[in-house]
Amino acid sequence: MSTEKSDLLQGTLDMLILKIVALGPVHGYGISLRIRQISKDVLQVQQGSLYPALHRLEKRGWLEAEWGESDNGREAKFYRLSAKGRKQLAAEHSNWDRLSEAVHLVMQTAQ
């Protein structure tokens, strides 16, 4: 059903954001850029989902935000992982590993 799919996507997006932010303070544009680059253009995050997700994560206390100067000297809002976010990332990471392992197993057996 559609709701389950979007839940999965949303959850995944949150995890990806946390992972990217874990690499160092970064602004919204930087996050979408890196996801695109690292996934070799397979994953394209829509801004319409990125910013609500960022704000939701900030509100939950997993991200902390601060205004700062970007590489080219413009003001940007930088996100940083909080201690709580780090724990969350670890939990989601291991959860994801188990899930993808399981999916992988099922798909292989089916072959």
Structural element, H or E, at residue 99: helix 83-110
Site string (45-84) toward another protein, x via CB under 8 A: -xxx--xx--xx-xxxx--x-----x-x-xxxx----x--
The CA distance from 40 to 35, in Å, is 8
Reduce the DSSP state of residue 76 to 3 states and report it: strand
Reduce the DSSP state of residue 71 to 3 states and report it: coil
Looking at 4-12, 15-23, 41-49, 99-107, which segment touches another protein (CB under 8 A)?
41-49
Asked if 44 contacts 36 with a C-beta cutoff of 8 angstroms, the reply is: yes
Place of tokens 């695109």: 36
Closer by beta carbon to another protein, 55 or else 98: 55
Looking at 2-10, 11-19, 40-48, 95-103, which segment touches another protein (CB under 8 A)?
40-48
User: Site residues (CB under 8 A) for another protein?
Assistant: 27-29, 32, 46-48, 51-52, 55-56, 58-61, 64, 70, 72, 74-77, 82
